[in-house]
Amino acid sequence: AGRAGVGPNTRFMAGNMPAGPEAIGGAIEEATLMPLLRTLLFVPGNKYRMMEKAAGLGADAVVLDLEDAVAPADKESAREQIREALEAIDFGRSKVFVRINALSTPLIGADLQAVIPLRLSGLCVPKTERGAELQCLDHQVAALEGQRVVPVGATGFVAFLETASGDTRRLS
């Protein structure tokens, strides 16, 4: 497991779930409750000027998007621009998340390599269908955190249930 105060399940954020942490299933016994996020502003990861503007709009959370908002040919450029934005832009009180590509794609490794050592509130994990997927992601992220002087467990996860099978399974 991780350092004191960081258990294997503390990176899973469950702030906007009406049923509370128990709704994410048996694979995750407890979740760290985050403040309710009323506004999430999604910004394409390949639009640096839009990221700059988003920083001043006062959203509860800014989500820098590597997934659907970015064409496949622009993914690498988007990773670089997000990296630059996280290093240079002051997002004020807004929490900053990066929506990575789906765990089932070959893009996930490059996404994690690009953003894990940077200051962000967490990762938005799209198209999540099983708790085992999040556990696998947890191991990958923990390994990167350990290599990059980031406290293990510091990078939170917000799982998006976007498919009928993901909703039916409720991450069991």
Interval 96-149: pLDDT, tens? 999 999 999 999 999 999 999 888 999 999 998 888 899 999 999 999 999 988
Three-state secondary-structure class, residue 54: helix
pLDDT in tens, 24-50: 444 444 555 667 889 999 999 999 999
Instruction: Write out the two tokens for 22.
Output: 């128990």
Instruction: Write out the two tokens for 46.
Output: 């390949």
Instruction: Kindly report each contact of residues 26-32 with a partner whose C-beta sits within 8 Å and lies 24 or more positions away, as own/partner.
Output: 26/131, 26/172, 27/130, 27/131, 27/132, 27/134, 27/135, 27/171, 27/172, 28/131, 28/134, 28/171, 32/156
Lookup result for tokens 């049923």? 19
Q: Give 132-171 as a DSSP string.
A: HHHHHHHHHHHHHHHHTT--TT-SEEEE---SHHHHHHTT
**Backbone angles phi and psi of 10, in degrees to 5:** -80, -10
How far apart are alpha carbons 18 and 82 in whole angstroms?
31
pTM recorded for the entire structure: 0.80
